[in-house]
Amino acid sequence: MVEKRLLEKEDLFKIQSVSNPQLSPNDKEAVFIKTKIDEKENQYFSEIFHLDVETEKVTQWTFGNERISSPKWSPNGEQVAFISNRNEKSQLYMINKSGGEARKITNLESGINSFSWSPCGEKIWITGSLKEDASFTDQAEKEKEDKEQPKAYIVDKMRYKADGVKGHGLKKQGVHTQIAILSLNDESIEQFSEGTHSHSLYDISPDGTKVIIGVNREEQDDYNFSQPLIMVDVETKEETVLVNHEGYYGGAKFSYDGRYIAYSGSDAAFKNATHSHVYIYDIESGTTQNLTESIDCPVGDYAVADTQQGIDAPSIVWTQANDLYFQLSNLGDVQLYYASLEGAIYPASPEGEHVYDYTVSKDGQFAIIAVSNPTFPGELFVYEIAKGERKQVTHFNDEWLNEVILSKPEPIVYESTNDLQVHGWLMKPANFEENKKYPLVVEIHGGPHTMYANSFFHELQLLAAQGYGVLYVNPRGSHGYSQEFVNGVRGDYGGGDYEDIMAGLDFVLGEETWIDETRLGVTGGSYGGFMTNWIVGHTNRFKAAVTQRSISNWVSFFGVSDIGYYFTPWQIGTDMVDPEKLWEHSPLKYAKNIDTPLLILHSELDFRCPIEQAEQLFITLKSMGKETSFVRFPDNNHNLSRTGTPNLRIERLDQIVSWFEQYLG
Count the Cβ atoms, other than its own, within 10 Å of residue 196: 9
The residue from 114, 478, 638, 641 that is catalytic is 638
Helix (H, G, I), strand (E, B) or coil at 487: helix
- What is the chain's percent helix, strand, coil content, to nearest 5? 20, 35, 45
Count the Cβ atoms, other than its own, within 10 Å of residue 244: 13
The residue from 110, 526, 550, 561 that is catalytic is 526
Helix (H, G, I), strand (E, B) or coil at 101: coil
C-alpha distances in Å from residue 165, one per residue of 43, 86, 172, 635, 637: 18, 20, 9, 11, 9
C-alpha distances in Å from residue 536, one per residue of 529, 552, 584: 11, 12, 15
Tell me whether residue 275 is one of the annotated catalytic residues. Answer: no
Q: What DSSP line would sit under 235-252, residue for residue? A: TT--EEEEE-SSEEEEEE
CA 307, 524, 620, 574 dihedral sign is positive
Q: Helices (H) and strands (E) in the chain — how many of each?
A: 12, 38
Q: Tell me the residue ranges of DSSP E strands in 296-375.
A: 317-318, 324-330, 333-339, 345-347, 354-360, 366-373
Nearest to 198 by CA among 221, 182, 175, 219: 175
Expressed in angstroms, the distance from the first to the final Cα of the chain is 33
CA 307, 309, 314, 317 dihedral sign is negative
Tell me whether residue 526 is one of the annotated catalytic residues. Answer: yes
Contacts 24+ apart (CB under 8 A), 418-424: 418/496, 420/476, 420/485, 420/496, 420/500, 422/473, 422/474, 422/475, 422/476, 422/500, 422/503, 422/504, 423/331, 423/332, 423/473, 423/474, 423/481, 424/452, 424/471, 424/472, 424/473, 424/474, 424/504
Helix extents (H) in 51-167: 139-146
Distance from C-alpha of 346 to C-alpha of 614, rounded to nearest angstrom: 45
448: cis peptide before it, omega within 30°? yes
Instruction: Give the side-chain half-sphere CA count within 13 A for 110.
Output: 24
Q: Where in the sequence numbering do the catalytic residues fall?
A: 526, 638
